[in-house]
């Protein structure tokens, strides 16, 4: 084999290894965990709220704070991972809260598909996170931001305010 061919192969293999390494590092840094579903309060409560989220320190804190603020308001709360949201019927809930991230310049697929299937989004509160903090699904009155842990409490307060307004 000629030296030039060997160099080209070496460069291509090196490029492939670097690309795969970058993709692995990106996924390890920015991928979301799957959360374990839970319920709070009795289903016979006056209000029913669905929270669909992805797992990260930031989103987990937001969900915990939202649940803490709503749990004493005669409200049944069901928390699920956003990847299982297609199993839910939005009309079964007085409010639907979705927390999702943008993945490769697109909203999380399950969240986007569920939202696109709805004819009435008036009882939805959607929080999208992205690196820029500016992304939101088109047509949704939502909250966008970056996953900055020290902002979690303020975002949770916004979600709670919007949810309480829906429930009134």
The average pLDDT across 134-151 equals 80
Question: Could you identify the residue written with the tokens 């409010």?
Answer: 95
Least confident window among 50-64, 105-119, 123-137: 123-137
Phi-psi region of 133 (alpha: psi -120 to 50; beta: other; left: phi over 0): left
| Angle (nearest 5°) at CA 93 between 90 and 95 | 95
Assess whether pLDDT exceeds 80 at residue 32. no
Q: What would the mean pLDDT of 60-85 be, rounded to a whole number?
A: 94
What pLDDT score was predicted for residue 31? 53
Mean pLDDT score across all residues of the chain: 84
Residue 1 and residue 82 in one domain: no
Same domain for 66 and 146: yes
Please, which pLDDT band fits residue 29 given cuts at 50, 70 and 90?
A: very low
At residue 115, the pLDDT reads 93
Domain that holds residue 20: 1-30
Q: Is residue 133 located within the same domain as residue 73?
A: yes
What was the pLDDT predicted at 26? Answer: 45
Confidence of residue 162 (pLDDT cuts 50, 70, 90): very high
Tally of domains in the chain: 2
CA 166 – CA 168 distance, rounded (Å) = 6
Using alpha carbons only, what angle is made at residue 121 by residues 44 and 162, rounded to the nearest 5 degrees?
70
Q: In terms of domains, do 103 and 147 share one?
A: yes
Q: What is the mean pLDDT of residues 94-107?
A: 89
The DSSP annotation for 6-72 comes to HHHHHHHHHHHHHHHHHHHHHHHHHPPBPPPPEEES-TTSSEEEEEEE-BSHHHHHHHHHHHHHHTT
3-state class (DSSP) for residue 109: helix
């Amino acid at each position: 084999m000629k030296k030039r061919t060997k160099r080209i192969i070496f460069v291509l293999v090196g490029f492939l290894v670097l690309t795969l390494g970058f993709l692995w590092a990106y996924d390890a840094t920015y991928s979301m965990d799957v959360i374990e579903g839970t319920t709070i309060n009795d289903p016979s409560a006056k209000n029913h709220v669905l929270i669909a989220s992805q797992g990260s320190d930031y989103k987990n804190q937001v969900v915990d704070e939202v649940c803490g603020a709503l749990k004493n308001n005669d409200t049944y709360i069901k928390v699920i991972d956003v990847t299982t949201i297609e199993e839910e019927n939005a009309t079964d809930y007085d409010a639907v809260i979705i927390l999702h991230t943008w993945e490769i310049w697109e909203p999380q697929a399950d969240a986007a598909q569920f939202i696109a299937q709805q004819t009435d989004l008036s009882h939805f509160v959607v929080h999208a996170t992205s690196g820029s903090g500016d992304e939101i699904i088109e047509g949704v009155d939502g909250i966008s931001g970056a996953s900055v842990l020290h902002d979690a409490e303020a975002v949770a307060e916004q979600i709670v305010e919007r949810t309480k307004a829906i429930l009134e």
